[in-house]
């Protein structure tokens, strides 16, 4: 079903502070930044110096406002932490159909827009071993 681990998402309060921390302390570099209004997040994708097409990235997610999913998560968790795991898929419609057939709840009836124009959906954490599981299909020009 899955190509690789696309990224692990970390919820943070402040995107700039978190970028500074992860680049200065751990030596990551920033591969991409964007704001996703629909998801209520400012995000940054971080990679290693030897990033390969299928190397997992770290995604920093900061809330845009108090209604953001990430704002709620930070409050409930009592601070920053690991909010999601994301698998890359080639055909998200087919994968969502298969997972639904297997009895798992997908959060959206149809995929929404994620990082870099990817098509995304999520498996409910209660159906994925307590982990919010994102599925992402990168846009055709970015697919490896």
Binding residues for ligand MC0, rule: CB under 6 A, are 9, 36, 39, 41, 43, 59, 61, 69-70, 72-73, 83-84, 86, 107, 114-115, 118, 120, 122, 125-126, 130-132, 134, 136
Instruction: Name the minimum Å distance from CB 77 to ligand MC0.
Output: 9
C-alpha 112 chain-centroid distance? 12
Q: What are the tokens at 76?
A: 């409930």
Which residues, in sequence order, are bridge partners of residue 82? Answer: 10
Instruction: Name the minimum Å distance from CB 81 to ligand MC0.
Output: 9
For ligand MC0, the closer of residues 39 and 56 by Cβ is: 39
Residue 103: helix, strand or coil by DSSP?
A: coil
For ligand MC0, the closer of residues 86 and 89 by Cβ is: 86
For ligand MC0, the closer of residues 22 and 43 by Cβ is: 43
Instruction: Name the minimum Å distance from CB 89 to ligand MC0.
Output: 13
Nearest-5° angle of CA 107, CA 57, CA 59? 55
Rounded Cα–Cα distance for residues 6 and 58 (Å): 9
The residue count of the chain comes to 144
């Amino acid at each position: 079903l899955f190509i690789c681990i696309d990224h692990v998402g970390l919820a943070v309060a402040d995107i700039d502070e978190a970028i500074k921390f992860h680049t200065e302390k751990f030596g990551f570099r920033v591969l991409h930044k964007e704001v996703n209004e629909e998801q209520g997040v400012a995000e940054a994708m971080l990679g290693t110096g030897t990033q390969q097409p299928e190397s997992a990235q770290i995604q920093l997610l900061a809330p845009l406002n108090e209604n953001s999913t990430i704002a709620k998560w930070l409050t409930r968790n009592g601070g920053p932490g690991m909010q999601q795991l994301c698998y890359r898929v080639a055909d998200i419609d087919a994968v969502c159909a298969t997972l639904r057939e297997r009895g798992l709840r997908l959060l959206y009836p149809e995929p929404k827009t994620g990082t870099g124009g990817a098509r995304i959906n999520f498996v409910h954490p209660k159906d994925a071993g307590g982990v919010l599981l994102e599925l992402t299909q990168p846009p055709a020009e970015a697919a490896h």
